[in-house]
Each structure stands twice: as C-alpha cells, then as structure tokens.
Amino acid sequence: MKIEKNTEIMRLKNIKKNLDYAKIFAKSFRNKKKDKKKTLPLHEPTFDNLEKKYLINCIKSTFVSTRGKMVTQFEKKIKNITSSKYAIATINGTCAIHLGLKLLGAKYGDEVMLPSLTFAGTTNAILNAGCIPHFLESEYETLGIDPIKLENYLKNNTKIIKGGCYNKKTKKKISSIIVVHVFGHSSKILQLSRISKKYKIQLLEDAAECIGSFYRKKHLGTYGKVGVISFNGNKTITTGGGGILLTGDKKISRLAKHLTLNSKTSHKWEYIHDQEGFNYGMPAINAALGLAQLEKLTKFITLKRKLYKKYEAKFKNLHFLKLLKEPKNSKSNYWLQTVILEKKFKHLKNLFLKETNLSGIITRPIWKPMHKLKHLKKYPKMRLEVVEDIYSRAINIPSSPNLTKIL
C-alpha cells in the first residue's frame, strides 16, 4: 500500500510539473504592461486605407477579372522583388504547382518526389496532375528534404534509363522533385539541385511561404526551372487568394500564361482555344490587394524578424524548447515562428497546445505528415523517422508582424 501511495504521489507531482511547464510557456507570450488579454492569432493579415484605395481603383476600372492591368503590374513588381525574369500570377499556390508540374513535363502515372513534411496542397497538386506522390525524409536544421539521405536513397532505389530516372520497385518514372522551403526558411537547395540534375529529375521549388526570403542573396523560388509562391490570406503578404509561378525560361513563361487563361488564342471576338488549359489566372481584384500589400513587404519582414528576436529573448531560459532559427547563409521572412520541444518533453506537446489556446494564444501543431494521412498511406516513401520526430515536437506560434507592439 505504501509503494502504491508513493507512486500515486509521484504521478500527481509529475502532472503538476507538466502543467507548470505549459503555463510558463503560455505566460511567456504576455506582456503585463501592454497586453489586455486579447487573442493572439497565429497569423493574420494587416490592412489599412492603402488596400481600400487600390481596391476602389480596381472596382472603378471595371476590370476586376483576369484581364485587368493590375495583374500585369503585380507580376512586374514580383519580378523586381525576386529578380525572376518572368512571373505568372495564378489564383492560388496549389494551381501554380499543378501548372508547374505540367510545364516540366510530368506525365500521368509518373512519380513526383516531395517531403512528407509539407502542406496538403503540394500533394494535391501532384494528384491533380495524375501523378504519384513519393514521400521523402527531412532534416532537423531546415525542416526541408535531407539531401544526404535523398542521394543515398536514389542510389539504392533508382536507375537511369534512356535519360530518365526510374523507381526500381514500381518501375515508374520519377519525373520531378518538389523542394519545399518550410515556414519561410530555405531548404538546402544547392545540394538538392545538384542531386536532381545528377539523377535526371526536374526540380520545382515550392516557395509558397517565402516571399522576401533569400539563400545566398538569391530569392527562394528562383533556383529551379520553375518556382511557386503563395499569397493566401495567412501569408506574409496576401492577395486574398493567389499565387505566382516564377521562371527564367521565356518559352515556359509564355506557355504558362497561355494555359492559365484557358489556352485562349488572341482574337478580337472569337473564342478559340488551341489546347487543354486551366482557369488559373489571378483576378485583378486580387492583384489590387497584392499591390497594396507589396508596398509594405519590407516593413512586414522587418517586424517579423524583430518578432523572432523578441521570442528569442523570452524563451532563452525555457530549457524545454528551442526556437527554429533561419539556416546558415539565408535571410528568412520568418513566416511562421516555430518552437521545437526537447525530446524528453515531447509528451507535453498537446498540453502546451491546450494551455495556450485556452489562454487566447493561437498555436497549432505543424502539418500532419502526408504519409500519415489515411488516403496517402499507400504511396511510396523513404524511412521517415526524422519527419515523425519533428511532428511530435514542433509547434507553430503567433507570427503576425504587428505582434511586436504587444509582446
């Protein structure tokens, strides 16, 4: 009886200790002098009269759909920011990835490699293209694809036949690899680019979260033949819904623009379409919102990088977690700030999520790995131990640029 009583006492002490950790974590987001216990969203857009001005001008022009001049202006500004030769605005990032795969030659039944640690939109674009997702392992530093493990995997599981890479087990062609830059941070894109060329695999960059993020002073999304950025409502800047396809290839850019507008040929009045196309063009009303947001991009990124520094100071004495930092040689927009629990504290993840959200601090677990989703379990994959470990310990925390005024 005494042993059982002592065990129960220890159990209750551990529960209290764990709850104390969660409360300490939640309280670290509050500033007694500035905070009025308001809800801290995960990432909300910031608007003022400038957005109203652009939107009103667009409405007055009556050109609110895909042919409006504001789309062209938006594309031009993105080219200037990213130093990409060409930019084609789309209705969202997922459509841009789907389009990119088509432009890179992915065919029905081909395998397309991607990290299991990504948003579902990346996988959906592959499935929409009639291709087969093939899930890859990630690494701890960047949360992106592990280039060393990838190269070993390709060496042992693929073969080059007639200039193409084929999966030895499935006999399917691996036509493309999608490199996802996670939470605004650069993956090891140079190594991954070298590997893709070695194995004759086309590389597409999913830089959905990376407007304003650079690696070795080159904008993410411009390393591959095709890159994609998203402007969804929760991104660093938003067009409401929207994306953009980046490329340095003139032929690809012309075809991309043509396809996004339903492959309609130029004619004063006839509706003539010369091939299968997509209704993927960005409407001018969305571009108008984006033009206003782009004027604030530098300010937003400065504030988000400042927010990282504030979190770094707040969490420096919390021994049970670490804050995800931009990789070496990169400059990140810090789209979503992320904490990773130390391994011996990973059992506290759900408690931390519960305590923060009950306190009005909106936190979220990172995406559930794609290979763990019921409808995707059947697809080919590497050993994904690191992906599963990261998922068990990582939490996204409030990241809006205006939070620097509160914390």
Report DSSP letters for 199-233, one per residue: TT-EEEEE-TT-TT-EETTEETTSSSSEEEEE-BT
pLDDT of the residue at 35:
59
- Within a 13 Å sphere around the CA of 407, how many CA atoms are in the beta-carbon half? 27
In tens, the pLDDT along 88-147 reads 999 999 999 999 999 999 999 999 999 999 999 999 999 999 999 999 999 999 999 999
pLDDT of the residue at 215:
98
Query: Whole-angstrom Cα distance, residue 361 to residue 356?
Result: 5
pLDDT of the residue at 10:
52
pLDDT of the residue at 352:
94
Which residue positions in the chain have pLDDT lower than 70? 1-16, 32-37
| Domains of the chain, first to last | 15-45+297-405 (3.90.1150.10), 49-294 (3.40.640.10)
pLDDT of the residue at 33:
58
Query: Using an 8 Å Cβ cutoff, are 363 and 357 in contact?
Result: yes
pLDDT of the residue at 22:
80
Using the structure block, give the residue that is written with the tokens 């504001």: 70
Query: Whole-angstrom Cα distance, residue 256 to residue 263?
Result: 9
Pinpoint the alpha helices (H) of 38-91. Answer: 49-61, 69-82
pLDDT of the residue at 131:
98
Of 187, 188, 228, 182, residue with least CA distance to 205: 228
Strands 321-323 and 132-136: unpaired
